[in-house]
């Protein structure tokens, strides 16, 4: 069985996105792939139009049900909705800022403080919207989580030997108070207070360990080999500093990465598929006990690649296909 893994297409409404995405799926089709996996950030601002475009193109290429398509959400699929009223508030302030900079600065500070608190209810609604849009891909999934998490994590038995464990890693634990320091840092870099506030606390990841364990030890798993789908990466400190500073990495990583890896190491995991940091590559996790594939470099300038997985009874062969 052949599986394609892509990630972070960040859909927008421009014709250039549509042609790039069609181009990518054309390349996937050429490799005679039976199943497509997308590990999050399908949309960029999580608008209805972005999802319409993505779903229409996927359907055009016959990725129309859970047998052929599996998706999980990335931070860009949920947080624009979580902070919808916040960004609306900001856009109105932006218009008035030129006329009354002092009053609006004070107002902006008040708004920032109000939205600094993470709101689980808003998160649940945003995740529900994502799963509703991709309902057609969940017809073959077994929900392990309850309504609170829109069923996440999900299990999909893709054949006799392999099962997918589909995790939502975006719910940021409420004790992370990165918002004001992060906004301040962005302001220092951009000197634009509105840019500084456009991405509140939403790039970190967190995984519910109890739910993850429930999925990994689910009675239906038997002796199956598992492929775990997570949006956030598994890079160690050393691996991640190839790409970014340690302080920036703190705003991007899974905050309970250690526990997640401990949990995965105890199980029959064949590989972890993810995105979030925009490169396509394979790397070892936990001194090679686990194997991770990042598929987020699909639209990288000069080096666009996606992951082709060949599943055999004994192992998974993987190669990155260049566009």
- Which positions lie near Fe ion, rule CB under 5 A? 8, 41, 74-75, 276
Nearer to Fe ion, 74 or 200 (CB): 74
Nearer to Fe ion, 66 or 297 (CB): 297
Contact (Cβ atoms closer than 8 angstroms) between residue 226 and residue 163: yes
Euclidean distance between CA atoms 170 and 205, whole angstroms: 5
Least separation, in Å, of the C-beta of 277 and Fe ion?
8
Nearer to Fe ion, 35 or 231 (CB): 231
Q: How many angstroms from the chain centroid is the CA of residue 56?
A: 20
- Say whether the peptide bond before residue 323 is cis (omega within 30 degrees of 0): no
Nearer to Fe ion, 74 or 297 (CB): 74
Least separation, in Å, of the C-beta of 205 and Fe ion?
9
Classified as helix, coil or strand, 14 is coil
Nearer to Fe ion, 156 or 232 (CB): 232
Nearer to Fe ion, 9 or 193 (CB): 9
Least separation, in Å, of the C-beta of 252 and Fe ion?
8
Least separation, in Å, of the C-beta of 44 and Fe ion?
8
Contact (Cβ atoms closer than 8 angstroms) between residue 304 and residue 323: yes
Per the DSSP assignment, residues forming a β-bridge with 292 are: 272, 283
Residue by residue, DSSP assigns 63-93 as --STTTEEEE--HHHHHHHHTHHHHHHHHHH
Nearer to Fe ion, 225 or 231 (CB): 231
Helix ranges, the chain (H): 15-30, 48-60, 75-82, 84-97, 101-115, 120-133, 179-190, 193-196, 209-216, 237-240, 246-249, 257-265
Least separation, in Å, of the C-beta of 130 and Fe ion?
13
Of 188, 183, 189, give the one whose Cα is nearest residue 203: 183
Least separation, in Å, of the C-beta of 40 and Fe ion?
6
Q: In the numeric block, which tokens belong to residue 194? A: 């509105």
Least separation, in Å, of the C-beta of 86 and Fe ion?
19
Beta strands 290-295 and 269-274 are parallel
């Amino acid at each position: 069985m052949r599986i394609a893994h892509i990630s972070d297409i960040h859909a927008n409404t421009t014709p250039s996105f549509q042609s790039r995405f069609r181009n990518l799926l054309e390349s996937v089709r050429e490799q005679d792939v039976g199943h497509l996996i997308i590990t999050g950030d399908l949309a960029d601002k999580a608008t209805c139009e972005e999802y319409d475009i993505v779903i229409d193109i996927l359907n055009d290429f016959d990725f129309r049900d859970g047998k052929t398509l599996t998706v999980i959400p990335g931070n860009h699929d949920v947080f624009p909705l979580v902070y919808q009223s916040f960004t609306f508030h900001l856009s109105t302030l932006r218009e008035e800022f030129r006329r009354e900079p002092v009053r609006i600065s004070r107002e902006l500070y008040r708004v920032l403080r109000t939205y600094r608190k993470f709101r689980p209810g808003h998160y649940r609604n945003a995740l529900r919207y994502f799963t509703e849009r991709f309902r057609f891909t969940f017809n073959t999934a077994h929900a392990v989580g309850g309504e609170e998490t829109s069923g996440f994590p999900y299990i999909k038995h893709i054949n006799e030997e392999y099962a997918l464990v589909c995790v939502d890693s975006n719910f940021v634990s409420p004790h992370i108070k990165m918002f004001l320091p992060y906004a301040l840092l962005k302001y220092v870099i951009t000197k634009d207070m509105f840019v500084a506030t456009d991405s509140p606390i939403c790039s970190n990841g967190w995984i519910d360990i109890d739910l993850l364990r429930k999925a990994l030890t689910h009675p239906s798993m038997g002796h199956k080999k598992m492929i775990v789908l997570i949006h956030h990466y598994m890079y160690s400190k050393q691996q991640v500093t190839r790409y970014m500073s340690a302080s920036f990495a703190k705003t991007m990583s899974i905050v309970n990465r250690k526990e997640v890896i401990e949990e995965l190491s105890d199980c029959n995991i064949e590989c972890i598929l993810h995105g979030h940091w925009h490169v396509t590559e394979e790397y070892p996790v936990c001194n090679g006990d686990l194997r991770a594939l990042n598929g987020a470099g699909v639209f990288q300038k000069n080096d666009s690649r996606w992951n082709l997985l060949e599943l055999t009874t004994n192992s998974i062969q993987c190669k990155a296909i260049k566009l």
